[in-house]
Structure 1
């Protein structure tokens, strides 16, 4: 079985890679508007990293009750989502991509991250509101990416 802390660690890795990706995209821009847009997304991903680190600390401090352990079916689904969808996309982010390819990839990662984080909610107990806040921010990222004009 896997704990909520383990799944939050996956979320931390998602945010860390997203930070690097958006930072890199910002540094490549000559258009000041796009540069600021990607820098803002990177800053928000860094903030999410901090939040997930705090959540991991809180969860690990709790005495390990049954609610902190996730059922095998759910863990299998979430691990598969991360391994099949999110992490391969994150690896592609390290490649030399056109701006359109980078935007398409970022859109897919944001969508998959929203699904991943949404699936954590039933197991999050006291952390539900924090995770919902991150989900809403990821949704805003998605809408911003979808409306970006190249």
Structure 2
């Protein structure tokens, strides 16, 4: 049996994904100070903004078309995002160093870009193509910011 995803399914999963990202960055930011905390807190804020953007679209879908997320599809997407994006390997641990958190965050962002690219056709049915591309660029921007931060940290610590 194959699962057919509706736009409501995808936007619902996107809200969950962005909320998980915000929690990941907020929890990680709480462990650090200075520039490290600022970077991670900023990323948490961006993820909350993305979640709100998707929630607004999802609410509009429900009001205008009556389209609701399918429970079976939701379970599939929840498993997909947990098993493929927010895996056990990227769960922050107490002993994680700043570069360790950055490595985990880079993996999360890379997987998020893959997810949004994979469901782009479904998103395009309810979102302007330029908005979808902007979202994907923002996620790629997060990836680049994290990569740059990791490189700067390594250079400062003499581990480049």
Q: Does 1:43 align with 2:42?
A: no
Contact 1:89-1:105 at 8 Å conserved across structures? no
Quick one: distance in 2 between partners of 1:134 and 1:84? Answer: 22
TM-score normalised over the length of structure 1: 0.78
Displacement, 1:120? Answer: 2.2
Unaligned runs of 5+ in 2: 70-75, 154-160
Displacement, 1:61? Answer: 3.1
Quick one: distance in 2 between partners of 1:90 and 1:21? Answer: 13
Quick one: distance in 1 between partners of 2:98 and 2:144? Answer: 17
Displacement, 1:101? Answer: 2.1
Larger radius of gyration: 2
Q: Deviations over 1:49-75 (max 9, x none)?
A: 10010111122234379xx99xxxxxx
Q: 1:43 to 1:145 in 2, by over 3 A?
A: same
Runs of 4+ deviating beyond 4 Å: 78-81
Contact 1:18-1:90 at 8 Å conserved across structures? no
TM-score normalised over the length of structure 2: 0.74
Q: Deviations over 1:92-120 (max 9, x none)?
A: 13x32232221111101101101111122
Higher helix share: 1
Displacement, 1:29? Answer: 1.4
- Count of residue pairs brought into register by the alignment: 141
Unaligned runs of 5+ in 1: 70-75
Alignment map for 1:33-112 (pairs within 5 Å): 33-63=35-65, 81-89=80-88, 92-93=91-92, 95-96=93-94, 97-112=96-111
Q: Who is 1:2 aligned against?
A: 5
